[in-house]
Chain A
Amino acid sequence: MLDVLQSIIPIALFYSAPLIFTALGGVFSERSGVVNIGLEGLMVMGAFVGIVFNLAFVDVLGAATPWVSVLVAMVVSAVFSSIHAVASVSFRADQVVSGVAINFLALGLGVFLTKQWYGKGQTDMVSRPFYSTDIPFLADIPIIGPLLFQKIYLTSYIAIIAAIVAWYVLYKTPFGLRLRSVGEHPMAADTNGINVYTMRYIAVIISGALGGLGGSVFALTIALNFSQSTIVGQGFMSLAAVIFGKWHPLGAMGAALFFGFAQSLSVIGAGVPFLADVPKIYLTIAPYLLTILALAGFIGRAEAPKANGQPYIKGSR
């Protein structure tokens, strides 16, 4: 049993990390009332920038390369997401449509530039990705140590810490209260002197940074290069985690962990005794099916922020 857990848990954490980051981005954006179907595109952008920067600067930066790559990916994706902010906040575009356009644009730009710079459809493999490590001291604890702290990616823990930070920011600070209020009732927030547009811009840009973080972490831990098929659906899965987690940072984290767990099961399921008999297809579609069930109210009611998806027009009732 312990062996089984020891093979599942690190892989589940490993697959979850990018989903957690991206889902947190989704929570920020949607809590402010801006639907973000573009999470997939933000991840694509993050993965692309993370890989390209890593390849270009590995000789200069050495061991720090993956960390700096991830930061650069966050910045670029944040800037990129401001397109979504401009379209959906200022230009009152349909937010779903704008998100779809973000997805198209990120993939188009990524593959176009890859062909432009590398002369082929995919980049080279990075030589300095993130590696799994043993966490000092904690790894030596019996039972828990081998399960949770040996051969683990630091990014997985950063993701969990980020979720707690996001929860604190959204629920324990004035900034978070304002952000949530413009997503629930923008007119009331406006009356109280909160600038709805600014808050929504900030929220979308935060979601861009976190989506970029998720994408680059995925690229630098799992994919290791960039091509058309690096990010296929992880962004949408993160979106599912946002909803399955009821638009709450910790809920989204839990959902992302579960989806990562389901993914890892379909990867290593054959090696696990009681799962070997379950056809792989059930494990593959489980996250999506569960999201539908959650939305339909079979697993607790999922209520979206009230003003989610509606552009705020000053002065309208």
Chain B
Amino acid sequence: MFSNRMFNILVPIISVVLGLIAGAIIMLGFGYNPFQGYLALIDGAFGNAYFFGETIRQVTPYILTGLAVAFAFRAGLFNIGAEGQVIVGWLAAVWIGTTIEAPMIVHLPLALFAAALAGGMWGFVPGLLKAKLGVHEVIITIMMNYIALYLTNHLIRNVLTDTKDTTDRVVESAALSSEWLMTLTSYSRLHWGILVALVAAVFMWFLLEKTTAGYELRSVGYNRHASEYAGMKVGKNIILAMVISGGFAGLAGAMEGLGTFGYMPTHSAFTNIGFDGIAVALLGGNAALGTVIAAFLFGTLKIGALNMPTGAGVPAELVEIVIALIIFFVASSYIIRWALLRLKKEGK
């Protein structure tokens, strides 16, 4: 028999393979060569220094939003609000980055902290409502996403600027971008944020696996009632989980604001970094290391896809379909487990 651990590793791998096969079938159906298509994708993600830099750049916020969703999941909560938390974190980082003057050693950490704080606050509201009133966090976080989107647009147009559609650039002392990394990767937008993301992943692993607070959070995620009976404060843990989760997502926003873009434009629609984080967390099995690996995969798919129209004539949206199917397969892990067990039995 398969052990549980084996399943947890097999299901995501099988899901990715099935998703890619489905993508290949779609390409075949529309008269494309799937090998050419996927080769173009790989080339577009790793083919040269520029592409590689862009891939890592895309992986950076994915790691953080993936961690955000995964962290909440571990405490039994579904944070669909990563998207809104990204947006408010982005704004907070840019706000600090454009209005304050300080040496880098103070300014950059302050801007990052502000982003995490803003995201955390955005997570606090659904956390509080869940803890105190038992309101389901999914709907609240969806609503908070829209409030974040429209509110930040409003603030950019009316408070940060005088009816302009983008903020000023953040000053040098708050920027994550690096001339050295950019020249190294033929002027991609690669920035130091990847280090922040990796540190965040280690932080999450340490917090959840090695501390009492983390043990309580996981315990509340497994069984709320048993945890309460054991004397843990369930409400406090729910709020804490949402705040930390929001903090991760807020940092993802800072990656865009202080790194990739260096400013914040008004958004007519969502950035999708937060929504993609759901896919990342699911595929990564809601663990820190898994999330980093999954973020790497999705970053590769997203950036590689941009090369598919020129490399193989395939519309880049094919990758969106593949990602959606991967989510389906992971979500339907029950049926994959069932199929695996059947195969195993027949093999005997």
Partner-B contacts on A (CB < 8 A):
35, 37, 83, 87, 90-94, 96-98, 100-105, 107-109, 111-112, 115-116, 228-229, 232-233, 236, 239-240, 243, 279-281, 284-285, 288-289, 291-292, 295-297, 304
Contact = CB atoms under 8 A, between A and B. Distances in A.
A97 B143 contact: no
B175 to A, nearest CB: 29
A83 B143 contact: no
A288 B81 CA distance: 13
A285 B147 contact: yes
Nearest to A110: B317
Among all A-B residue pairs, the 8 with the closest Cβ atoms: A108-B320, A105-B324, A104-B324, A93-B331, A91-B332, A112-B317, A115-B315, A101-B327
25 contacts: A37-B138, A83-B328, A87-B332, A93-B331, A96-B78, A97-B327, A98-B331, A98-B332, A100-B279, A103-B275, A104-B275, A104-B324, A111-B315, A111-B320, A112-B321, A229-B268, A232-B269, A233-B146, A240-B143, A285-B146, A285-B147, A289-B147, A292-B125, A295-B139, A297-B135
B294 interface: no
B181 interface: no
A297 B125 CA distance: 14
Range of interface residues on chain B? 35 or more
B149 to A, nearest CB: 8
Contacts of A100: 80, 275, 278-279, 327
Contacts of A280: 154
Contact of A236 (B135, B140, B146, B324): B146
Best-buried of A104, A281, A291 by chain B (most CB within 10 Å): A104
A167 B147 CA distance: 31
Contacts of B78: 96
A83 to B, nearest CB: 7
Contact of A285 (B30, B151, B275, B327): B151
A246 to B, nearest CB: 13
A121 to B, nearest CB: 9
B117 to A, nearest CB: 21
B35 interface: no
B42 interface: no
A112 B313 CA distance: 12
Contacts of A243: 139
A100 B135 CA distance: 20
A162 B150 CA distance: 31
Nearest to A284: B150
Given A98-B328, A288-B144, 9 more contacts: A87-B328, A98-B331, A100-B275, A100-B279, A104-B275, A236-B142, A236-B146, A285-B151, A297-B133
Contacts of A229: 268-269
Contact of A292 (B140, B151, B154): B140
A108 B321 contact: yes
Contacts of A285: 146-147, 150-151
A240 B335 CA distance: 31
B317 A288 contact: no
Interface in B300-320: 315, 317-320
A239 B142 contact: yes
Contacts of B222: none
B269 A295 contact: no
Contacts of A94: 331
A304 B331 contact: no
Contacts of A91: 331-332, 334-335
Contact of A281 (B80, B142, B143, B150): B150
A87 B143 contact: no
Nearest to B135: A295
A92 B331 CA distance: 8
B110 interface: no
B136 interface: yes
B138 A104 contact: no
Nearest to A308: B136
B198 interface: no
A282 B150 CA distance: 10
B14 interface: no
A108 B324 contact: yes
A85 to B, nearest CB: 12
Contacts of A232: 268-270
Interface in B40-82: 78, 80
Contacts of B340: none
B317 A108 contact: yes
Contacts of B328: 83, 87, 93, 98, 101, 105
